[in-house]
Amino acid sequence: MGSDSGIIEQLAADHRRIQNLLDRVRSAPPGSDERTSLVEQAGSRLVSHLVAERERLYPLVHRYVVDGDAGVNELLAVDEDIQRTLKALEAAPAGSERYARLLLCLVSGVTEHVVGMEQRLFPRLQAMSPVAVLRDAGAGTRHAEAVGPTRPRPDAPSSPALTKLTSAVWGPLDRLRDRLERRP
């Protein structure tokens, strides 16, 4: 993504990367180290993505989209489900039946998230928001993803201001822990 891309293009490109990772997860042998590593990568990418949406996208939806508050509340519920599933995946044995069920839940949740964003929310936001606002939010999204948390926290605050504050604390800690654990 170029530095001039707007938030919609940025988030849609993230959706493609995450879906590609999940495709690779599904094709990896069940219980393998490869699958476990890919799930960790997908989870890390998803958490960063969801935090960036809370910080940068949802305030725009509140401001520019008719009934944006209701839409954001629905998206937050899906996001929480995704984070709960990621947290449960971390605790489940990689080759277990529970792990496989959780993985299916994750794929379903991500699919629901992508469809909700790209087919319903993005067109409405693009129609109602100034281009410069969307472009500037794209830069903020790239920054939020680069420094934000990488570990799921299903009970994280949903307000953008609190998300920024907790991201400033958890982001560096998560990234340090990822390096120490040699997590991709």
User: Structure pTM?
Assistant: 0.81
Inter-CA distances, 153 with 148, 171, 177, Å: 12, 12, 15
Q: Where are the domains of the chain?
A: 7-180
The first and second tokens of residue 60, run together, are 């725009």
User: What tens-digit pLDDT sequence spans the chain (184 residues)?
Assistant: 445 579 999 999 999 999 999 999 999 998 899 999 999 999 989 989 998 998 899 999 989 999 888 888 888 888 889 999 999 998 999 889 999 999 999 999 999 999 989 999 999 999 999 999 999 999 888 777 776 666 665 566 555 655 565 666 555 565 556 666 666 6
Is domain 7-180 classified as CATH 1.20.120? yes
